[in-house]
Amino acid sequence: MIEDPPSGDEPRRSPALARPYAWTEGRTAPSVEIAVEALVETTADGRAEAVYQPSSALAEVLELCVRPRSVLEIAALLALPLGVVRVLVSDLLPDNLVIVRDTLSDTAGWDERHDLMERVLHGLRDL
């Protein structure tokens, strides 16, 4: 369960005692590659679906991502391994429960790179 943090408004979990593959039904690789800095945001469908899955790890990801968060941030807040979070996020994609905003491609221009740096700096300040 998500616990109230001692300060701030971010939920925190105690570290999971279950093996990582127990969270992902034995799967260790996501169905799509997702960068650690990619932003994940819950869609309207995802917000509605979270109501029907109140105790699952998928519902916790949906709850956290009402506000866009990086894959790495989700892993830290849920105290789950990064690989587990990647699998969970990739499970939510086919049903349009989340959208993943990729980071830069190899052909990204200076403006795109500058925007990414601004977002990262803003995210760091928020932590």
The predicted-structure confidence for 33-55, as pLDDT tens digits, reads as follows 888 888 999 999 999 887 777 66
Per-residue DSSP letters for the chain?
A: -EEPPSSSS--EEPPP-S-HHHHTTT--S-SS---TT-EEEE-HHHHHHHHH-TTSHHHHHHHHTTS-EEHHHHHHHHT--HHHHHHHHHHHTTTTSEEEE----TT--HHHHHHHHHHHHHHHHH-
Please, what is the end-to-end C-alpha distance for the chain in angstroms?
Answer: 22
pTM above 0.85, yes or no: no
Look at residue 34 in the predicted model and tell me its pLDDT.
85
Look at residue 61 in the predicted model and tell me its pLDDT.
93
Look at residue 110 in the predicted model and tell me its pLDDT.
85
Look at residue 46 in the predicted model and tell me its pLDDT.
92
The 10 Å Cβ neighbour count of residue 22 is 12
Look at residue 4 in the predicted model and tell me its pLDDT.
47
In the chain, which residues have pLDDT < 70?
Answer: 1-29, 54-55, 120, 122-127
82-92 and 57-64 are packed helices; what angle lies between their axes, rounded to 10 degrees? 80
